[in-house]
Amino acid sequence: MRFLVLDGWRGIAALVVALYHLPNAGWFPDSALISNGYLFVDYFFVLSGFVISHAYTAQLSGRDGLAQFVVRRFGRLWPLHAAVLGMLVLLEIAKAAAQIYGGAEFRQEPFTGRQSGWTVLTNVSLLHALGFYDDLIWNVPSWSISAEFWTYMLFAAVVLGARRRLVPVAAAIAVAAAAVVALESDDYMNATYDYGLYRCLYGFFTGCLVYRIYVAADGFKRLVRNAPVAFELAALAVVVSFVMAAGIGPLTMLAPPLFGLTVLIFALEAGPVSRLIATRPVQWLGAWSYSIYMVHWLVLGVLDKALRVVEKFSGEVLFAEQLIDGRMQRALVFGNDFEKATFAVAYLELVVLVAALTWRFVENPGRRYFNGLARNLPSGAPASAAAKDPP
């Protein structure tokens, strides 16, 4: 069973995260919904816990089932992650060549700082979100991919070791992880390279619990199906209002349970919002959502270098220091608000185009390859329990 509406929401959330990272000082990207858009990463975590629980709880039984699970989940995340990392390394090589042979000057020397050669090894090994660094490195959004992979491993261990106590163990992990984030992270749920693994654990195991509620709460399902318009519109209003108000303070700790409630409602696919999200264009976004999330930083890097060339030869000031998320960052400042918004839309279109290509030529072939490897391994579950690999 595929949760098509939840997949569609994943695509929309990926676009919001892509806009969040756009350093464009204008009314559209600077809206409260976009400036707090990092919180939609927690939707990914909650949804991941939900669909992984649905797809794999029955399959994970013994060493054979574990081997299939590890290969499938590695194959879901790693090929595109490695490809984008490789492209960023090529950009850094081009930067070094421009410096050596063209006399170009850069604020940061090639292959230094968070783009050093050593950091490539931990990135390619999916280890870079485990506390090795004090900054985000290479493909900035990929910290969550590292955190999620190791969260998958913990999920498998919990299912194999505590299947009959899955709910209390998942609840304990979610509560403990939330406590670490709340007590240790200066920015609460805006934790990434430092406490991002705990943020992921909190969201993922909240999603596991939401799935157990989905399976068991027949009364709630009837209630939603009897008033789908009210429930879907209310869920949408609550999430939008929450994200706009949350900032980076203690209120952000409510993100996983609120996204979990939204997942629970839209998993039923009962109302008019669900019908809209189930349309083909939104479903395309859902299919491309992982690629959108992973390639948008690469697109930003290329645009940044292109605009710096324009700035240098035109004499126009395109970048300026702006206070963003509590710290000074370089932001695009050209044009009026309408022009900035137009640029943001064009950027999203470019991201979606690149994502469609990487989905077609990297992500999907990579997933099929590793799924083929997994199918050749012994299965840990009877055929009736096998589930289609989730997105």
C-alpha closest to that of 14 among 386, 296, 330, 301: 296
C-alpha closest to that of 38 among 211, 224, 248: 248
Give the tens place of pLDDT for each residue, 70-88: 999 999 999 999 999 999 8
Scan for tokens 């303070």, then name that residue. 249
- Which tokens belong to 218? 């027949």
- For 182, the 3-state DSSP assignment is helix
- Residues 148, 204: contact at Cβ < 8 Å? yes
pLDDT the model gives residue 27:
54
What are the residues whose beta carbons fall under 8 Å from the beta carbon of 277, sequence distance 6 or more?
Answer: 4, 5, 8, 9, 12, 266
How distant, in Å, are the alpha carbons of 140, 147, 158, 179, 195 from that of 191?
13, 11, 24, 13, 5
The answer to whether residue 219 scores a pLDDT higher than 50 is yes
- Residues 76, 134: contact at Cβ < 8 Å? no
Measured CA to CA, the distance from residue 6 to residue 279 in angstroms comes to 12
Quick one: pLDDT band at residue 322, thresholds 50, 70, 90? Answer: low
Give the tens place of pLDDT for each residue, 15-51: 999 999 887 655 555 588 888 999 999 999 999 999 9
- Residues 226, 268: contact at Cβ < 8 Å? no
The answer to whether residue 248 scores a pLDDT higher than 70 is yes
Measured CA to CA, the distance from residue 199 to residue 131 in angstroms comes to 13
- Residues 36, 324: contact at Cβ < 8 Å? no
How distant, in Å, are the alpha carbons of 17, 111, 119, 135 from that of 260?
18, 40, 34, 29
For the chain, the average pLDDT equals 87
- Residues 110, 99: contact at Cβ < 8 Å? yes
